[in-house]
Amino acid sequence: MSEETEVQDPNRYWHPKQGWLTSHFKIIPREEYQPTIERLGTETELMFRKPYSFAEAPEAREIFKEDWEEKSISHEAAASVIELMTFPQPNVGALAQNQYVLMSKAVAWAEAHDLRILPVACEPLHYSMQPDWDWYYMKNLVEKYGAGAQRICGMTGSVQLNLQIESGDAALFCHEGWTRAMPIMIALSASSPFHQGLPTGLLSFRTLVRGLYLNGGPVPEPIPAGTTWAEYHEMSKKLMKMQEVCKAPFDHNLPLRLRLDRGCLEVGIMDMIADHGQYRALIDLCRRLTWQMLVCYKEGRQLPAFLGTSYNRALRHNLKRSAMHGRNGTMHDANLDILSIRQAIESTITWAAQAPADPTQGWSETEKVLAHILENGNSAEQMMQSFRGYHPYCPDPMRGCPNCKDAVRSVCEEVSRLFHIQYHADAQEFREPCNKPSVSTGAGDQAVAE
């Protein structure tokens, strides 16, 4: 069947690389719709590195593919990055269990091949990333951005949540809600404070990288108010035929995507979540927020102002402040009034508490984890605290010094070790790599072995 073949089913659409696909979103009148999140799933991008130096390990993918089911892994822009996908699950508990099994298998596999997983959201050291040039999306990035595509390869660690929502119009409403709530989730999940062996001045450098190279920025184009699902679906079908504009499926609105072929809203705004307890809590928070958005859609109510704004300029301000200051920053609400991000997070938690409970994830546990983040900081803030412990004084804060890189590497070792240990049934099973160096690994670097 070719592109020119007429298909009467309005849910069928043509994609030049994948052929005919079917949209799984439905048109359901608002009065007949009942708020439902049918399934949850996540996609986690893991950076595989060589021990101690934390140089990339581009050989990991091909070896990895031989040992794993093809359905659970996916290509990424960097050859040393592997994306692991859970199966769609009915609740947070089942999803968290699926994630735990995947991460445990990945850790065991990495150690068996004398590798380490570095669970941060952006390449923290100076190594240039080796792209996967055989992947068509990588070729498109290079064609579109030239040498800048090399930078995007470093933006490698994240947890993407996929929410299956039956109604297309309800999914559009949630897209607007998550566009506004992006700064809140970045403040809670930021885990990328380093790049090229230096602190970047940001808690989520990944957000900046996306802003430089992904479709002109991390801000999804707000879908015009009043757009129906039928209109949006027709627009998407046309965009996918325009290869010069939309070279890969769904590459418009990258941080938030409505996947027609999966019938789900992809929420790709969080950094890498290394701690399993935080993974459960943040996924539960996202589920509850999505439910509250669906209730607002059903009842014809506006979303609360504290979620933020989708007004482009103010949203970009919110994202920058969140990526730089996290919970201690400020943001614009829907009325363009200024409020602290901490206040927005607290109001969001209170609102989420009104959603129906997930019997597999107690809300008290979720609240406890979120309160800990608010009190002690997100993962990036914890990394910066460790960095200052290793390197309390730098003679050249603007350009850094050799000891900065040593301190960043020490933080990487600490974060990687904790990740490996938590995904062992027995923490004593953690194995030191056999190729631990005993000499300096580079100019100005201190010896990493005692």
pLDDT confidence band for 400 (50 / 70 / 90): confident
**Is pLDDT of 270 > 70?**
yes
**Residue 449 or 99, more confident:** 99
CB-CB contact of 329 with 340 (8 Å): yes
Domains plus CATH for the chain? Answer: 12-424 (3.30.590.20)
CB-CB contact of 287 with 37 (8 Å): yes
The SS3 assignment for 106 reads helix
> Residue 441 belongs to what H/E stretch?
none
Count CB-CB contacts under 10 A for residue 235. Answer: 13
Name which of 438, 293, 408, 267 is nearest 351 in CA terms: 293
| Greatest distance between any 2 Cα atoms in the chain | 70
Per-residue pLDDT of 211-260, as tens digits, reads 654 444 455 566 777 888 888 888 777 776 665 445 444 444 567 888 88
**Is pLDDT of 311 > 70?**
yes
Per-residue pLDDT of 109-125, as tens digits, reads 899 889 999 999 988 98
**Contacts of residue 86, Cβ cutoff 8 Å, sequence gap at least 6:** 41, 42, 43, 95, 98, 99, 102
pLDDT confidence band for 142 (50 / 70 / 90): low
pLDDT given for residue 146 in this prediction: 62
pLDDT confidence band for 61 (50 / 70 / 90): confident
**Residue 128 or 369, more confident:** 369
Counting beta carbons within 10 angstroms of the beta carbon of residue 384, is it exposed (0 to 12), middle (13 to 18) or buried (19 or more)? Answer: middle
Per-residue pLDDT of 1-29, as tens digits, reads 444 444 556 677 766 666 777 778 889 99
Q: Quick one: average pLDDT of 304-315?
A: 91
CB-CB contact of 367 with 381 (8 Å): no
pLDDT given for residue 250 in this prediction: 44
How many whole angstroms separate alpha carbon 140 and alpha carbon 136?
6
pLDDT given for residue 334 in this prediction: 95
Question: Which residue type, as a one-letter code, is found at position 77?
Answer: A
Lookup: tokens for 373: 């983040």
CA angle 183, 90, 272 (to 5 degrees): 35
